[in-house]
Structure 1
Amino acid sequence: MSQRKRFTEIDALRGLAALAVVLFHYTTRYEERFGEVSGGFSEIFSLGEYGVQLFFIISGFVIYMSILKVKSVSDFAIKRSFRLYPAYIFAVVLTFTVVSLASIDQLKIDIMPALINLTMFQDFLGAPRVDGVYWTLRVEMTFYILMAILLFFKVEKKVMPIVISWLAFSVIIQLIHRNIDTEMTATIREFSIASFSHMFIIGIMFYCIWQHGNQLKYHAVIAMCIAYDLAFMSVENALITTVFVATFYLVINNKLQFLSSRVLVFFGTISYPLYLIHQNIGYVIINQLHAMGFTHPIYTVMLIGATVLAAYLIFRYIETPVQNALYKLYKGQRKPSGKKKMAVD
């Protein structure tokens, strides 16, 4: 299979997933939480919540590719930190400030939990989130920890027994919770990310297909993941997952190159800050607009445009320059004395 350095189509899919989540939160989820009609589009965009699952599949692909390129656990952790924290810390501060000044008490948290949020480990430490969308960061962080464990034991290339064991462990967790539905089993299921493990595994398998070709074992594991989805999640969930799987097959076989358009790739570029800042700040703005009588859907469209602009500004003036500065410093510290510099991805 022909190799490419980067799939811009995957960047575009990440952007489309982010937009789907934004539309879901500004319509369906807003109406659920606040009991107000948000432009009449709640049913149309109700499937937007599944954009998060597409994120996880993409993460499985990209992060597994990353651990095959790094030299150590510390290298992986440092690079991930550089990628995640600049935009995240800014988003936490911005969201906390905006929500604190607003009149929606159910979105507010105290300053100490907000400071804990700066670590990105608020869920592990039992602190409330500054923004509800940060729940996915716990899932991602758990996946990163699992990938770091593979690196530590130098078994990252022994992917098949690892993913099969992981999926089997998830099945056990789901069965235990199904038969012993307690707060403890629910917590175990939540923090073992058993409800999303198959998404990451699908992403890993697609990387293997891209790298090693259409071997039956990779397709078999993907089929097992869809069956897992059907057995433990829902029919709708499994159908959406199947659509994502079909999309990925088309992408890695170069059948969706139209996704490489500059507009779609742009949304992929800003998808991370867009995801981080849109929900609670958006709720505050929608609530204020409704209080002033501005309920027409055009105002939701304008809000989405403003959120996209804000995400671009964060990407351009916060995320990119801080990341570049950190990478430059890291490269300088890793440069062996009297030898050529070591490359940093």
Structure 2
Amino acid sequence: MTERRSGSRLAALDGLRLLAALMVVSYHYVALARPWGHATDTIFPTLHTAAQYGWLGVEVFFLISGFVICMSVWGRTVGEFAVSRLSRLFPAYWAGVLLTTVVVKAWPEFASPRGWDTLITNLTMLQGGNNTPDVDPVYWTLFVELKFYLIVVVVMLFGVTYRNCLILCGVWTVAAALAPVLNTPLVTQFAMPEYAPFFIAGIAFYLMRRHRPNAVLWAIVILQLLLAQRYLDYRQTSSLGKAAADTLPGWPAHVIVIAAFALIGAIALGACDRIQWKWLTTAGALTYPLYLIHMNIGMTLIHHYRDQIPAPVLVASVTALMLASAWLIHRLVERPLGKWLRTTMRRGIDDVRQHVTPRHRHPRPPAPPTPTAPRPAEDDRTPPHARTFESV
């Protein structure tokens, strides 16, 4: 199959990532009543309705993740992938956990401070697996991502190829479809039926970009788009509460998901390759730290100053402050600490290869001596100027 050059960093994808993050921010700051003390429909009569669909930014993140992770594992070993992901995720995450803990302990008026045991467990990013509370509620999505990475690692053990990626899409689709019927906790945990369609579609979209679109890949994408509709009503209810969800039309959520699929499809097909604005790359880099710190810290600030600053000004100011803080985390923590982690982990992997692997190898027996050929007569020697490349 003919491969197509996937290109360098996709600025349009960074822009979509920022849009998804701002959707989540608007949902927490504008749609939810908790930081304001009452329903926000009277505070933001126009923006309130649109912000109520901001929870869909998480689904957009998962769609982007399927695309990006499939792109990042191609041609890499499991060790290289682990180094890349750990050095990318943990520096900003550690900063977010610690900063959120400090703010919540200083102003415990919105969120309850967590104990030291909860804080330490959160630093591992594995709290979702042992029912430990999150320091910030948005961290639940990170455990979903980690399970996706584990699924990808299994594929890497067999080799990341077009065929194996198609097998992953098929097996995962079947597992996600059967999980509610099987009612097996382990299958449900890893099949993730609510979110699997977004990851799988992202993988298929990247295969389109790398290998060109075909009927099989389009069938996978369309099937995932249909399956994604199944859980949108459930997600709307769990995000907004039953009372609010029952009064809110459901069709905009379906339209937003269709639009997200269309945008990723356009990126996959190269329709957005001309978009190369440098500020989008910077904005994309801020998305992850912004997501990590915006909820408990931002909503604490809104709760604290809601009676002193006009609501629109307060939301705009807190959002700007969170963006500035995300930039500082990116520049002062994520980049230098991430670089140090990459260097350290790569050195550790090299040490393992050099000192552990040779011990398990049997020494190669010496080759038998090659008999010396008789020296040709002076007239039979090949002149130096007549030697070929192979004889040199």
What TM-score do the two structures reach when normalised by structure 2? 0.77
Shift of 1:107: 3.7
- Give 5+ residue unaligned stretches, structure 1: 178-183, 340-345
**Identity score, percent:** 28
Question: Size of the alignment, in residue pairs?
Answer: 329
Contact 2:209/2:270 (8 A) holds in 1: no
1:143 counterpart letter in structure 2: F
Compared CA separation, residues 35 and 282, structure 1 to 2 (3 A): same
SS in 1 for 2:7: coil
Deviation of 1:257 after TM superposition, in Å, equals 5.2
Q: Is the 8 A contact 2:176 2:193 kept in 1?
A: yes
CA contact (8 A) 2:93 2:289 kept: yes
What is the aligned partner in structure 2 of residue 162 from structure 1? 168
Q: Deviations over 1:272-321 (max 9, x none)?
A: 1000000000111001001x432431111011111100000000000001
CA distance in 1, matches of 2:96, 2:350: 32
Residues 11, 280 of structure 2: 8 Å contact kept: no
Post-superposition offset of 1:2: 5.6
Alpha-carbon distance in structure 2 between the residues aligned to 1:154 and 1:259: 32
Instruction: Tell me by how many angstroms 1:70 deviates.
Output: 1.3
Q: Which of these residues, 104, 109, 129, is aligned with residue 124 of structure 1?
A: 129
2:7 is matched with which residue: 4, 7, 22?
4
Give the Å deviation of 1:57. 0.9
The answer to whether the Cα contact below 8 Å between 2:10 and 2:273 also exists between their aligned partners in 1 is no
Equivalent residue in structure 2 for 1:310, among 303, 325, 330? 325
The structure with the larger Rg is: 2
SS in 1 for 2:297: helix
Q: Secondary structure in 2 aligned to 1:4?
A: coil
Question: Does the CA-based 8 Å contact 2:126-2:143 persist in structure 1?
Answer: yes
Separation in 2, partners of 1:245, 1:82:
29
Amino acid across the alignment from 1:60: G
> Which residue number corresponds to residue 30 of structure 2?
27
What secondary structure sits across from 1:35 in the alignment?
Answer: coil
1:110 is aligned, of 96, 107, 115, to 115
Which secondary structure state, in structure 1, belongs to the residue aligned with residue 18 of structure 2?
helix
Which residue of 253, 267, 286 maps to 2:283?
Answer: 267
Cα distance in 2, alignment partners of residues 299 and 175 from structure 1:
47
Do residues 289 (structure 1) and 305 (structure 2) align? yes
Deviations 1:231-263 (A, max 9, x none): 343464443221111111222333335754333
Q: Is the CA contact (8 Å cut-off) linking 2:36 and 2:302 kept in structure 1? A: no
Does structure 1 residue 171 correspond to structure 2 residue 146? no
**Which residue pairs with 2:370 in the alignment?**
none
* Distance (Å, rounded) in 2 between the aligned partners of 1:296 and 1:42: 12
Paired AA for residue 122 in structure 2: N
The one-letter code of the counterpart of 2:67 is F
2:276 and 2:56 mapped to 1: Cα distance? 22
TM-score normalised to structure 1 length: 0.87
Give the CA deviation at 1:211.
Answer: 0.6
Once the 2 structures are TM-superposed, how far is the Cα of residue 333 of structure 1 from its aligned partner? 4.9
Q: Deviations over 1:80-100 (max 9, x none)?
A: 111100110111011011111
Equivalent residue for 1:13, pick from 10, 13, 16: 16
Q: How does 1:188-199 map to 2 (within 5 A)?
A: 189=188, 192-199=191-198
- Whether contact under 8 Å (2:110, 2:300) holds in the other structure is no
State the superposition RMSD in angstroms.
Answer: 2.6
Q: Does 1:52 align with 2:58?
A: yes
CA deviations over 1:204-233 (Å, ceiling 9, x no partner): 001000011111100000110011122343
